[in-house]
């Protein structure tokens, strides 16, 4: 079950009724029950991954908390210790907690790496034997549930636990990237004493599997999300209306725009050998908007559904195509992923003693600027390599990560020269015209990045770029060729109009206009007319029916 599945709507209604029907103090139990049900619809065999990660994180955080409490009590008792002895004792406790942190992170991230790299590890005999062993464990778990809890048979769709697995299954458990990163961030915050360890493992399980964010994020910090999950929220009509409006906007993005564009994009890239540069460029542009509308639409549905319960999740998009630089683009696109990498990869590397020593050596030998750049370049290289690997273990995503990382690194290193040249040639960098040129330049860079990943291989990407440069036949844009590639003339025109509408709304939002406030301020007849028009747009222009895959949210696969 996903947000676009017809079963999601009665499920969501039941979850809302359950939540607000429970006493205020135990409403989090209703959210946990709904989240577990949502997770079970994907199969019982996925549960060991999630529960195992939560148990490891909970146990490690509780042990770290115990070590820190013992440290604080000991320091209070030993008032005669001098500063050096206290510092040595703190280092010893910190080292024990560090061992706990790395053991837990290794287990949790190791599971993610194993799942992501199944196809690369399938030829290793020891790992193949391990897969066979765990498949037998899953079979026994499945038999236990089916024999002793047959009611789960009503809830679970195509569990697969009774099947015999003797090879790698090549599947990615639901939400594994998102709850893995959330739990690793939680462990790091407990280790740094920025976060108090959660005593109740069920609350930590709810944080990891909360159903509005399990499909594709956002990746929220424990301290930002857990208090809202723990405390019960009274029913608020205005909040519910705003949440449902945002969900509706997400469905428009997903089903009217993204899924329509995908009917054109996927067939073209699947048979790129048959097309010339003009068609491939249009498909690449369509792929950019398809990716944005699919992912941001999913986020709108998730954030809107969570808002109904009173849980405000972190924003994940902020109109990225209005950015004027690569760095700004990545501060607006998949924002929670960028924040996670900044807090838990970039900053720890930037302040690590080894990098500081290396920076000092480069500063002494090559100058202050070289030392400063080292402190930026090395963490950025690691972050963007990991970002590429997070999306996929294929070479095309490694190149994709290197592509974006190189652009950001080069713009950072040569920022003084760029500023100097702008002044030398009297370029009006703050004028609207120049800002528009920078937005267009950024959009072209985004198109190239989609060509690196959408075809599925570097060879295909290279061939597509070659055709765009050397086989660009502009007349194919006007001779009707575009109307024969998955979308007819009305469908393609509707897609173009929808994208333009999206741009106008985004531009208005950049100016500070909040459309939900505008809608809420309309007379009741006009307000409901707008909402009904949105519902009608999804029902009339949405893509569904025979052959439609309701589970195809793009970022569910990451």
Q: Residue 547 and residue 537: Cα distance in Å, rounded?
A: 20
Cis upstream peptide for 129 (omega within 30°): no
**Whether the predicted pLDDT of 292 surpasses 70:** yes
pLDDT of residue 320: 93
pLDDT of residue 522: 78
**Whether the predicted pLDDT of 16 surpasses 50:** yes
pLDDT of residue 60: 93
Contacts of residue 130, Cβ cutoff 8 Å, sequence gap at least 6: none
pLDDT of residue 119: 54
Percentage of the residues of the chain whose pLDDT score is greater than 90: 36
pLDDT of residue 139: 55
Dihedral, CA of residue 268, residue 274, residue 276 and residue 281, to nearest 10? 10
Instruction: Kindly tell me the burial class for residue 532, based on how many C-beta atoms sit within 10 Å of its own C-beta (0-12, 13-18, 19 or more).
Output: exposed
**Whether the predicted pLDDT of 347 surpasses 70:** yes
pLDDT of residue 351: 87
Distances (CA, A) of 122 to 3, 166, 386: 33, 11, 22
**Whether the predicted pLDDT of 50 surpasses 60:** yes
pLDDT of residue 162: 39
Neighbours of 192 (CB within 10 A): 12
Which contiguous run of DSSP H or E holds residue 306?
helix 277-308
First to last CA, the chain: 17
Distances (CA, A) of 509 to 230, 320, 496, 505, 519: 33, 12, 20, 6, 14
Tokens at residue 213, please?
Answer: 């964010």
Tokens at residue 346, please?
Answer: 């970039």
The structure tokens 């039941």 sit at 14
DSSP string, 43-82: -GGGHHHHHHHHHHHHHHHHHHHHHHHHHHHHHHH-TT--
Please tell me which residue, 545 or 474, carries the higher pLDDT value.
Answer: 474
Which residue ranges make up each domain of the chain? 8-122+170-224, 236-274+289-317+478-558, 322-454
Q: Rounded mean pLDDT of 456-461? A: 88
Please tell me which residue, 5 or 312, carries the higher pLDDT value.
Answer: 312
Lowest-confidence segment of 227-236, 242-251, 540-549 by average pLDDT: 540-549
pLDDT of residue 57: 93
**Whether the predicted pLDDT of 123 surpasses 80:** no
**Whether the predicted pLDDT of 147 surpasses 70:** no
Banded model confidence at residue 170, pLDDT cuts 50, 70, 90: very low
Banded model confidence at residue 121, pLDDT cuts 50, 70, 90: low
Neighbours of 4 (CB within 10 A): 25
3-state DSSP helix/strand/coil % of the chain, to nearest 5: 75, 0, 25
Banded model confidence at residue 164, pLDDT cuts 50, 70, 90: very low
Lowest-confidence segment of 33-37, 337-341, 464-468, 509-513 by average pLDDT: 509-513
**Whether the predicted pLDDT of 86 surpasses 80:** yes
**Whether the predicted pLDDT of 227 surpasses 80:** yes
pLDDT of residue 476: 84
pLDDT of residue 456: 81
**Whether the predicted pLDDT of 293 surpasses 50:** yes
Contact predicate 204/198, CB 8 Å: yes
Lowest-confidence segment of 162-166, 301-305, 343-347 by average pLDDT: 162-166
Q: Rounded mean pLDDT of 224-253? A: 90
pLDDT tens digit sequence for 386-401 = 888 888 767 888 899 9
**Whether the predicted pLDDT of 55 surpasses 70:** yes
Q: What pTM did the predictor assign?
A: 0.85
Lowest-confidence segment of 182-186, 378-382, 410-414, 514-518 by average pLDDT: 514-518
**Whether the predicted pLDDT of 529 surpasses 90:** no
Q: Rounded mean pLDDT of 208-235? A: 89
Percentage of the residues of the chain whose pLDDT score is greater than 70: 87
**Whether the predicted pLDDT of 358 surpasses 50:** yes
Banded model confidence at residue 488, pLDDT cuts 50, 70, 90: confident
């Amino acid at each position: 079950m996903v947000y676009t599945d017809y079963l999601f709507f009665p499920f969501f209604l039941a979850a809302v009724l359950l939540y607000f029907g429970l006493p205020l103090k135990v409403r989090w139990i209703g959210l946990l029950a709904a989240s577990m049900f949502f997770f079970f619809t994907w199969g019982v065999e996925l549960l060991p991954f999630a529960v195992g990660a939560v148990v490891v994180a909970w146990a490690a955080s509780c042990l770290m908390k115990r070590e820190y409490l013992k440290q604080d009590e000991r320091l209070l008792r030993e008032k005669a210790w001098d500063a050096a002895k206290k510092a040595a004792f703190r280092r010893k406790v910190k080292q024990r907690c560090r061992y706990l942190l790395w053991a837990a992170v290794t287990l949790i991230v190791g599971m993610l790496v194993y799942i992501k790299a199944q196809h690369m590890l399938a030829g290793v005999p020891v790992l193949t034997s391990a897969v066979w062993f765990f498949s037998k464990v899953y079979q026994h778990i499945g038999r236990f549930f089916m024999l002793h809890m047959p009611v789960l048979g009503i809830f679970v769709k195509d569990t697969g636990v009774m099947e015999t697995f003797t090879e790698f299954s090549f599947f990615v458990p639901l939400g594994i990237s998102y709850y893995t990163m959330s739990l690793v961030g939680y462990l790091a915050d407990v280790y740094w004493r920025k976060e108090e360890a959660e005593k109740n493992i069920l609350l930590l399980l709810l944080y990891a599997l909360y159903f509005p964010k399990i499909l594709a994020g956002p990746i929220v910090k424990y301290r930002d999300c857990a208090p809202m999950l723990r405390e019960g929220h009274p029913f608020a009509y205005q909040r519910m209306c705003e949440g449902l409006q945002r969900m509706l906007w997400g469905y428009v993005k997903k089903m009217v725009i993204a899924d329509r564009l995908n009917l054109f994009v996927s067939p073209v890239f699947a048979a790129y050998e048959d097309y010339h540069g003009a068609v491939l460029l249009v498909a690449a542009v369509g792929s950019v908007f398809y990716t944005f509308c699919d992912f941001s639409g999913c986020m709108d549905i998730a954030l809107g559904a969570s808002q109904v319960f009173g849980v405000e999740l972190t924003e994940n998009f902020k109109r990225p195509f209005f950015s004027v630089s690569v760095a700004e683009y990545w501060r607006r696109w998949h924002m929670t992923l960028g924040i996670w990498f900044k807090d838990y990869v970039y900053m720890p590397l930037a302040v690590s003693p080894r990098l500081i020593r290396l920076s000092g050596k480069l500063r002494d030998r090559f100058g202050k600027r070289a030392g400063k750049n080292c402190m930026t370049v090395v963490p950025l290289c690691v972050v963007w390599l990991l970002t590429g690997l997070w999306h996929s273990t294929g070479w095309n995503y490694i190149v994709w990560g290197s592509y974006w990382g190189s652009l950001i690194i080069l713009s950072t290193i040569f920022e003084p020269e760029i500023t100097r040249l702008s002044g030398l040639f009297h370029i009006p960098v703050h004028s609207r015209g120049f800002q528009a040129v920078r937005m267009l330049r950024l959009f072209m860079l985004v198109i190239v990045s989609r060509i690196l990943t959408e075809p599925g291989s570097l060879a295909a990407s290279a061939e597509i770029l070659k055709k765009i440069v050397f086989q660009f036949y502009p007349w194919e844009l006007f001779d009707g060729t575009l109307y024969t590639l998955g979308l007819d003339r009305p469908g393609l025109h509707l897609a173009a109009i929808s994208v333009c509408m999206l741009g106008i709304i985004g531009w208005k939002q950049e100016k500070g206009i909040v459309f939900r406030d505008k809608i809420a301020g309309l007379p009741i007849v006009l307000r409901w007319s707008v909402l009904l028009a949105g519902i009608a747009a999804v029902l009339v222009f949405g893509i569904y029916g025979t052959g439609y895959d309701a589970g195809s949210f793009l970022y569910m696969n990451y």
